[in-house]
């Protein structure tokens, strides 16, 4: 199979080795300002009388044609700021869309963007956007074509509207940018404009859809001479006040009426030259404003949630590993592992409680004593990232009925990460390294059974373009891991869901109760075609059984060999029905290190945009029969029957006041009569330029004929290695909705409300056990051999004396929750923000397994909530400007 794949790749390389350059030699002059520029959106300063740049080109809807409206742009600077001004002419000024939104909100309106490659590395940059109403956004550019909106710069902008145009002025402190200082600097720059009513996007440098990259095509920004560099020192002190009213029992000794907290801390940012930044923090506040969505996870693996804490978000793309060079990184069950999953730092304490108790006071997070970062890029194209954080030793207070005792549930821990990447030959090649470490002070014997003493990863990654025009790029990475701990911990480690070394039918590894350390490795190489209508992406990778990056990263898998091939074609020019089309065909397969086939899948992913700007996506797949290591959760392999799935969604024109997005998903395994359906509908209503309402209801039903329950040892179960692996039929129904209301009073004052009602119920019946390994055959338990007492099932496997009975708790569930979050945000001055936050959480759990919306809603409504009120104020001081 691999030989055939290589032959196909070589043939395609020979047949489709074309490419073209879209680099346009354009220059933008930055004019030196000797007088103060007032940021008011009125272009009355003399410096704006210089010659502007113009001649914008459409990217949408008619690629390559002249923009329908004229745009003039100027750039100026002084020793402290970069200024951008623009006059955006409009023949119908009464139709200019100037809706308001909070900073960085995703919304559609008339917009102006400026993007600056201040390192002039053709790979990275900063972008700033503003609309006619004064709503702003910003973020960073990386890997030439990727956008990250998590960065929050401190800058000013104003707009004005007249009978011919809407005008703007932007003022960006040089301290917010990163650049390599010299007497005469050349940066990269680009401008774009959205005309909302036309669905039109215009660019000064327009990169065709069939090309690749973004930053590498920017115009040269010249004229930046004799800038006197100032010290970059910023201080951001903060104060947080919090009041909590939590659900509790009346006799709970740990709950007091005085649930008030006051916290003071701050961040320090120091510029080391013009291109490196040192961030330090004292008593950091890592509270997040928005709650994670509710989920019902029935697998053996944790749920991945995005990072939302500002300290970790800023500069996070520097720590990304293994994905540079290529403009697409298809994974298909084998993505590059996250070596730095920052939500590990300050996480919920991991220690289990080993005593019976009546009441417990257990923190929901581990306090971070201090954290620091060094990030930036040197003049020789070497990027650097260094992160260090220490979390405190954390205890739970336990009332066991006789006394209150303390138990350690999280040790004193240091987390460290180092990232460096060097780019060569105008970024045609790159080589990078990354190292992470977790070191714990495990003085508690119970915690030493649950956590590793030390965990390390070390990786090397890079890319190289294979041709002059950068059509083909080869990317690769290799990672090594090492973890150490007590014998008890290493035994638990080997038995964890990523490994299952206890599997009785495994031949390429076995459980070792004497281990105190383990090493592993991961590697992947990928070929990607960057340009043109025809598309190809293929990769092969492997991860050893002992690989582990889960202490500071997020681990998806171990013991796997994967390869995939994606072939596609993309039509970018409008036709009679479709404005654009994209069709992709995929084949992928997985094996373990014993060469058991874990997956063989054929899939297609397709996108169509109609002439009326409605979007439709269609996905479908056919999975051949394969084996599963996970179904028995440490037991023998089982068969996964043939599977089919389909997914179709339709989205309306985003310009309208009412926008909808609907979709349906379907999957089925006919051999065992398992299936799943999901129906979702999202509606967005924009009743005014200040108010936006989104409601996203969703309903799903899954019928699983082999849903895991538990395993029970029985020497009579000789076909399954002396263990009975018990399953049941489960019918799960889930109803949920996400509701968002955004009310923007001014560009600097906004109110956001988020709510998520969630109900998930599961009903189990038809209990059975695995009949033999490497099969899907089961032995169903006779109803006469099943008894139900005190919310427990008692199973007699064969109804005779030889086989002992076993019991398990009623697996039926009925989980209900309601999460609500309201945030008032007021930017009182650039970089200085006041937050008022209210959070409401309710949850309820029962075991009836019945979906009764009226009863479920009533029970949830009557449950006691947790209410948290918080006020946070942070004040930004640019100390460097004061020195």
- Per the listing, tokens 């060569």 go with 424
Arithmetic mean of pLDDT over the chain: 88
Give the H/E segment covering residue 191. Answer: strand 184-195
pLDDT of 273 reads 77
Rounded to an integer, the average pLDDT of 253-277 is 81
Tens-digit pLDDT profile for residues 177-224: 888 888 889 999 999 999 999 999 999 999 998 888 899 999 999 999
pLDDT of 148 reads 84
Rounded to an integer, the average pLDDT of 37-64 is 93
CA distance 553 to 287: 20
pLDDT of 882 reads 64
Tens-digit pLDDT profile for residues 13-38: 333 333 333 445 689 999 999 888 99
* 108 pLDDT more than 90: no
Higher model confidence: residue 85 or residue 497?
A: 85
Q: What angle do CA 134, 140, 142 make, to 5 degrees?
A: 150
- Which of 353-367, 497-511, 535-549, 663-677 bottoms out in mean pLDDT, i.e. has the lowest? 353-367
pLDDT confidence band for 305 (50 / 70 / 90):
low
Q: Residue by residue, what is the 3-state secondary structure of 192-239? A: EEEEHHHCEEEECCCCCCCCCCCHHHCEEEEEEECCCCCCCEEEEEEE
CA distance 205 to 879: 37
What percent of the chain stands above pLDDT 70?
94
Highest-confidence segment of 19-23, 518-522, 713-717 = 518-522
* 140 pLDDT more than 80: yes
pLDDT of 183 reads 81
pLDDT confidence band for 296 (50 / 70 / 90):
very low
How far from chain centre, in Å, is Cα 522?
Answer: 21
- Which of 43-52, 71-80, 362-371, 823-832 bottoms out in mean pLDDT, i.e. has the lowest? 362-371
* 2 pLDDT more than 60: no
* 757 pLDDT more than 70: yes
* 83 pLDDT more than 90: yes
pLDDT of 738 reads 93
Residue among 150, 165, 173, 61 at smallest CA distance from 112: 165
* 359 pLDDT more than 90: no
Tens-digit pLDDT profile for residues 467-479: 988 899 999 999 9
CA distance 164 to 184: 37
Q: What is the pTM of this model?
A: 0.85
Q: What is the largest CA-CA distance in the chain?
A: 100
- Per the listing, tokens 């991945």 go with 304
Tens-digit pLDDT profile for residues 308-338: 676 777 777 889 898 888 888 888 888 888 8
Tens-digit pLDDT profile for residues 389-427: 999 999 988 888 788 888 999 999 999 999 999 999 988
* 9 pLDDT more than 50: no
pLDDT of 852 reads 84
DSSP strand pairing (27-32 vs 219-225): parallel
Residue among 722, 704, 723 at smallest CA distance from 776: 704
Rounded to an integer, the average pLDDT of 797-812 is 86
Tens-digit pLDDT profile for residues 637-646: 999 999 999 9
pLDDT of 38 reads 94
Specify the DSSP class assigned to residue 775: S
* Contact between residue 125 and residue 187 where contact means Cβ atoms under 8 Å apart: no
3-state helix, strand, coil in the chain (%, to 5): 10, 50, 40
Rounded to an integer, the average pLDDT of 662-666 is 96
DSSP strand pairing (382-391 vs 184-195): unpaired
CA distance 416 to 455: 10
pLDDT of 297 reads 45
CA distance 306 to 291: 11
pLDDT of 20 reads 37
Q: Kindly report whether the peptide bond that precedes residue 544 is cis, defined as omega within 30 degrees of 0.
A: no
pLDDT of 272 reads 84
* 4 pLDDT more than 70: no
Tens-digit pLDDT profile for residues 692-714: 999 999 999 999 999 999 999 99
Please report the sign of the dihedral spanned by the C-alpha atoms of residue 487, residue 492, residue 496, residue 501. Answer: positive
pLDDT of 19 reads 35
Residue 790, exposed/middle/buried by CB under 10 A (0-12, 13-18, 19+)?
exposed
Q: What b/e readout covers 813-840, taking b as 16+ CB neighbours within 10 angstroms? A: bbbbbbbbbbbbbbbeeebbbebebebb
Rounded to an integer, the average pLDDT of 38-62 is 94
Rounded to an integer, the average pLDDT of 252-269 is 80
pLDDT confidence band for 11 (50 / 70 / 90):
very low
- Per the listing, tokens 């030259």 go with 273
What is the residue-wise DSSP string for 667-713?
Answer: EEEGGGTEEEEEEEEEEEE--SSSEEEEEEEEEEEEEEEEEEEEEEE
pLDDT confidence band for 280 (50 / 70 / 90):
confident
Q: What is the length of the chain?
A: 883
pLDDT of 306 reads 65
pLDDT of 685 reads 94
Give the H/E segment covering residue 458. Answer: strand 454-465
pLDDT of 394 reads 92
């Amino acid at each position: 199979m691999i030989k055939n794949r290589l032959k196909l790749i070589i043939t395609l390389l020979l047949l489709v080795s074309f490419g073209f350059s879209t680099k346009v030699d354009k220059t933008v002059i930055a004019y030196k300002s000797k007088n103060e520029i007032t940021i008011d959106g009125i272009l009355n300063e003399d410096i704006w009388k210089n010659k502007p740049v113009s001649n914008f080109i459409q990217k949408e809807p008619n690629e390559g044609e002249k923009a329908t409206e004229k745009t003039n742009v100027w750039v100026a600077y002084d020793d402290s700021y970069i200024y951008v001004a623009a006059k955006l002419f409009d023949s119908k000024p009464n139709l200019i869309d100037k809706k308001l939104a909070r900073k960085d909100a995703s919304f559609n309106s008339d917009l102006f963007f400026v993007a600056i490659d201040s390192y002039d590395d053709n790979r990275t940059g900063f972008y700033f956007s503003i609309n006619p109403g004064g709503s702003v956004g910003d973020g960073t550019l990386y890997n030439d074509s990727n956008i990250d909106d998590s960065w929050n710069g401190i800058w000013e902008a104003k707009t004005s509207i007249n009978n011919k145009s809407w005008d703007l002025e932007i003022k960006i402190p040089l301290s917010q940018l990163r650049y390599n200082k010299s007497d005469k600097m050349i940066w990269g720059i680009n401008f774009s404009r959205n005309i909302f009513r036309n669905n039109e996007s215009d660019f000064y440098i327009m990169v065709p859809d069939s090309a690749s990259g973004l930053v590498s095509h920017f115009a040269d920004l010249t004229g930046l001479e004799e800038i006197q560099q100032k010290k970059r020192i910023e201080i951001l002190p903060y104060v947080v006040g919090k009041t909590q009213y939590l659900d509790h029992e009346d006799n709970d000794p740990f709950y007091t009426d005085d649930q008030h907290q006051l916290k003071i801390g701050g961040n320090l940012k120091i510029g080391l030259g013009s291109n490196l930044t040192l961030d330090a923090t004292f008593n950091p506040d890592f509270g997040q404003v928005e709650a994670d969505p509710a989920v019902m996870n029935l697998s053996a693996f944790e749920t991945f949630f995005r990072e939302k804490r500002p300290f970790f978000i800023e500069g996070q793309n520097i720590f990304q590993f293994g994905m540079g060079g290529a403009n697409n990184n298809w994974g298909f069950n084998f993505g590059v592992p996250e070596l730095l999953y920052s939500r590990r730092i300050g996480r919920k304490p991991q220690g289990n409680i080993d005593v019976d108790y009546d009441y417990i006071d257990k923190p929901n997070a581990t306090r971070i004593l201090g954290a620091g970062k060094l990030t930036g890029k040197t003049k020789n194209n070497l990027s650097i990232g260094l992160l260090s954080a220490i979390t405190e030793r954390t205890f739970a207070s336990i009332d066991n009925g006789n006394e209150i005792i303390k138990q350690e549930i999280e040790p004193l821990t240091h987390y460290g990460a180092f990232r460096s990447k060097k780019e060569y030959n105008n970024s045609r090649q790159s080589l990078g390294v990354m190292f992470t470490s977790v070191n714990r002070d495990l003085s508690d014997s119970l915690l030493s059974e649950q956590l590793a003493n030390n965990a390390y990863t070390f990786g090397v990654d890079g890319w190289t373009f294979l041709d002059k025009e950068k059509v083909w790029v080869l990317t690769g990475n290799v990672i090594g891991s090492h973890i150490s701990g007590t014998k008890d911990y290493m035994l638990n480690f080997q038995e964890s869901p990523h490994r299952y070394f206890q599997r009785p039918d495994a031949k390429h590894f076995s459980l070792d109760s004497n281990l105190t350390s383990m090493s592993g490795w991961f590697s992947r190489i990928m070929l990607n075609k960057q340009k043109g209508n025809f598309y190809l992406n293929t990769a092969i990778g492997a991860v050893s059984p002992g690989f582990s990056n889960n202490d500071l990263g997020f681990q998806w898998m171990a013991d796997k060999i994967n390869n995939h091939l994606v072939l596609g074609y993309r039509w970018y020019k409008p036709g009679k029905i479709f404005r654009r089309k994209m069709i992709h065909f995929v084949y992928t397969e997985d094996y373990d290190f014993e060469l058991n086939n874990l997956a063989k899948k054929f899939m297609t992913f397709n996108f169509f945009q109609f002439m009326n700007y409605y979007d439709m996506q269609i996905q479908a797949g056919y999975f051949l029969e394969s084996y599963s290591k996970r179904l028995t959760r440490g037991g023998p392999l089982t068969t996964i029957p043939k599977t089919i799935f389909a997914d179709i969604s339709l989205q309306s024109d985003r310009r309208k006041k009412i926008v909808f997005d609907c979709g349906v998903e379907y999957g089925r395994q006919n051999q065992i009569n398992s299936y799943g359906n999901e129906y979702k509908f999202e509606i967005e209503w924009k009743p005014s330029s200040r108010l936006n309402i989104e409601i996203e209801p969703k309903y799903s039903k899954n019928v699983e004929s082999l849903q895991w329950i538990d395993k029970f040892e029985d020497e009579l179960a000789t076909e399954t290695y002396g263990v009975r692996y018990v399953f049941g039929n489960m019918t799960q129904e889930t109803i949920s909705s996400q509701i968002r209301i955004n009310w923007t009073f001014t560009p600097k004052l906004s109110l956001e409300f988020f709510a998520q009602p969630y109900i998930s119920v599961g009903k189990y019946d038809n209990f059975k056990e695995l009949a033999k390994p490497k099969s899907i055959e089961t032995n169903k338990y006779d109803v006469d051999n099943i008894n139900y007492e005190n919310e427990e099932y008692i199973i007699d496997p064969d109804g005779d004396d030889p086989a002992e009975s076993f019991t398990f708790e009623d697996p039926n569930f009925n989980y209900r929750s309601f999460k609500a979050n309201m945030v008032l945000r007021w930017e009182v001055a650039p970089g200085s923000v006041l937050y008022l936050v209210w959070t409401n959480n309710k949850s309820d759990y029962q075991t009836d397994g019945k979906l009764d919306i009226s009863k479920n809603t009533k029970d949830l409504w009557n449950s006691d909530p947790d209410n948290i009120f918080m006020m946070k104020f942070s004040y930004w001081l640019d100390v460097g400007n004061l020195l």
